[in-house]
């Protein structure tokens, strides 16, 4: 078991090169099953979720090889169409493989992703859409047994702009005859990255970034070299760390427009955020006010994934912020841990009221989920004294060597492997 030992109270200074985006690379890895050739993915972060995707690809018969931050996937010869229960449990978002495997193999078997740390995570929209394209899907004792001898393009209206459902449809539709229209599609930047990747492979996808996406299916897809977009949530997390601990940090390679809602909240709280095309700089005195209201919403609204780190940054300060979590039911699990550090946070259903306190105290903390863990890291950096962070496997799903990044900025953080 590993723990992080963090001594808080040191301001952060310096420049960070932001890692590739987890939420972009996972659907891109699922899309590599469509290529009859080698895909070379650059800026591919080494995360446990990426390793789980690589394990799924190997299970399907693909060859996967990592060298530095480049991952090579050769799915020319796929032999399987089944994802094991163990890998489905390890990473619930492995359901994004469903559309790709169906498109390539005409059949797929995987277990149903049940509830998870964020609350129930239904996939009804994924299944309804794949059925509309012509897939037969049986739900048997927790397993999904799917076959699709032929897929045919059609118009699919999503009741909610689900990111995963949009991605699953995009992948399946590349093999469908004719045109598929996704109406009410998710507009997240990671969907644009997936469109760019598919088009580089020879697909014809238009409209990503808007709420209507059109896919002309049936084209042969080939291998490609591609650079994954930078991770806007990781960037937001480092912004929160600098906001909370104080200092002056510049993030490189990020698109400031993707960070505008997070920047607005931190600016409201008293930070100075300046940006050029591919750089965002945050300066903070470490004494924050409140940000009034933070309401999570689908992109371009405030990202649910940044809610916990921003809450941690605003827990120490002198203002009040009202958070409204509109995306997931169980996304305040970090609150109890922040309260143990001395934070004043009251939760009622979807609403959390954060009243800044003059100081947080270091404590023994447990990561509850990926972004909740990031929030605890942020809080520990601004707290007085030492914190011990456990449950790092959550953090490792989305952050590549976070201790190294923070140490390079002047933080006192070390990972200790305990036997
Ligand atoms: C993706 C991101 C996750 C982020 C989330 C919302 C990845 C790997 N993960 O998750 O980090 O927090 O988007 O921005 O990209 N829903 C249904 N039925 C469905 C599908 C979704 O009711 O069939 C609901 C969900 O319960 C949730 C909302 O729609 O309340 C949004 O979920 P969705 O956009 O699908 O999130 P994910 O793709 O799972």
The 10s digit of each residue's pLDDT in 289-300 is 999 999 999 999
Q: Are 104 and 73 in contact (CB under 8 A)?
A: no
- 86's CB contacts (< 8 A; 6+ apart) are none
Instruction: Give the residue, by CA position, lying nearest to ligand 1 atom 22.
Output: 122
Q: What is the pLDDT of residue 330?
A: 82
Per-residue confidence band for 115, with pLDDT thresholds at 50, 70 and 90:
low
163 lines ligand 1 (CB under 6 A): yes
Task: Cis check for the bond before 300: say yes or no (omega within 30 of 0).
Answer: yes
Nearest CA to ligand 1 atom 25: 121
Strands (E), 20-133: 38-42, 63-67, 70-74, 107-111
CB 123 less than 6 A from any atom of ligand 1? yes
At residue 260 the predicted structure's pLDDT band, cuts being 50, 70 and 90, is very high
- Cβ–ligand 1 contact at 113 (below 6 Å): no
Cα(176)–Cα(172) distance, rounded to whole angstroms?
7
Tens-digit pLDDT profile for residues 292-338: 999 999 999 999 999 999 999 999 999 999 999 999 988 999 999 99
What pLDDT, on a 0 to 100 scale, did the predictor assign at position 116? 59
pLDDT of residue 90: 85
Section 161-167 average pLDDT: 97
Say what the pLDDT of residue 112 is. 82
Ligand 1 contact, 350 CB (< 6 A): no
CA-closest residue to ligand 1 atom 20: 123
According to the model, what pLDDT value does residue 45 have? 97
Query: What band does 170 get if pLDDT is binned at 50, 70 and 90?
Result: very high
Residue of the nearest CA to atom 11 in ligand 1?
Answer: 305
Share the mean pLDDT of the chain.
95
Q: Comparing 117 with 271, which gets the higher pLDDT?
A: 271
Average pLDDT over residues 112-121: 67
Q: Is 146 a catalytic residue?
A: no
Residue 350 is predicted with a pLDDT of 96
Q: Where are the beta strands (DSSP E) in 18-59?
A: 38-42
How close is the Cα of 17 to the center of ligand 1, in Å?
27
- Cα–Cα distance for residue pair 276/256, rounded to 1 Å: 7
Q: What is the mean pLDDT of residues 151-156?
A: 97
Please give the distance, rounded to the nearest whole angstrom, from the Cα atom of residue 364 to the centre of ligand 1. 31
Question: Any residues with CB less than 8 A from the CB of 124 and at least 6 apart, and which?
Answer: none
- Is there an atom of ligand 1 within 6 Å of 165 CB? yes
Q: Give the confidence band of 194 by pLDDT, cuts at 50, 70, 90.
A: very high
**pTM of the prediction?**
0.97
Complete edge-to-edge strand list for the sheet that includes strand 12-17: 12-17, 247-252, 279-284, 272-276
Q: Whose CA is nearest to atom 31 of ligand 1?
A: 162
Q: What percent of the chain has pLDDT over 70?
A: 98
Does the Cβ of 398 fall within 6 Å of ligand 1? no
Q: Which of 39, 77, 116, 240 is catalytic?
A: 116
């Amino acid at each position: 078991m590993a723990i992080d030992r963090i001594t808080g109270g040191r301001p952060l200074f310096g420049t960070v090169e932001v890692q590739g985006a987890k939420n972009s690379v996972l659907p891109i890895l699922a899309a590599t099953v469509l290529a009859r050739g080698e895909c070379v993915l650059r800026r591919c972060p080494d995360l446990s979720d990426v390793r789980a995707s690589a394990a799924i690809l190997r299970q399907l018969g693909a060859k996967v090889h990592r060298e530095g931050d480049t991952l090579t996937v050769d799915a020319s010869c796929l032999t399987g169409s089944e994802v094991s229960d163990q890998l489905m449990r390890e990473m619930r978002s492995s359901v994004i493989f469903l559309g790709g495997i169906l498109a390539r193999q005409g059949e797929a078997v995987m277990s149903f992703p049940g509830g998870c740390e964020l609350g129930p995570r239904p996939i009804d929209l994924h299944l309804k859409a794949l059925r509309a394209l012509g897939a037969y899907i049986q739900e048997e004792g927790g397993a999904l047994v799917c076959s699709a001898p032929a897929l045919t393009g059609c118009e699919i209206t999503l009741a909610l702009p689900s990111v995963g459902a949009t991605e699953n449809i995009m992948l399946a539709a590349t093999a469908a005859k004719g045109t598929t229209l996704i109406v009410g599609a998710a507009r997240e930047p990671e969907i644009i990255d997936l469109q760019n990747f598919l088009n580089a492979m020879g697909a014809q996808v238009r409209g990503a970034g808007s709420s209507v996406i059109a896919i002309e299916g049936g084209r042969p897809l080939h291998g490609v070299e591609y650079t994954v977009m930078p991770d806007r949530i990781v960037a937001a997390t480092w912004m929160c760390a600098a906001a909370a601990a104080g200092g002056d940090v510049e993030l490189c390679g990020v698109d400031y427009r993707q960070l505008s809602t997070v920047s607005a909240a931190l600016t409201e709280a008293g930070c100075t955020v300046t940006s050029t095309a591919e750089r965002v700089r945050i300066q903070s005195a470490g004494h924050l006010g409140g940000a009034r209201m933070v309401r999570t919403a689908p992109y371009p609204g405030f990202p649910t994934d940044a809610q916990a780190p921003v809450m941690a940054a605003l827990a120490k300060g002198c203002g009040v912020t009202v958070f409204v979590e509109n995306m997931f039911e169980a996304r305040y699990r970090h609150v109890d841990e922040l309260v143990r550090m001395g934070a004043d946070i009251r939760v009622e259903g979807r609403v959390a009221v954060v009243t800044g306190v003059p100081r947080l105290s270091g404590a023994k903390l447990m990561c509850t989920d990926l972004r909740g863990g990031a929030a605890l890291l942020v809080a520990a950096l601004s707290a007085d004294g030492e914190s011990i962070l456990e449950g790092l496997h959550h953090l490792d799903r989305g952050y590549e060597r976070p201790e190294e990044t923070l140490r390079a900025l002047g933080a006192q953080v070390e990972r200790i492997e305990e036997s």
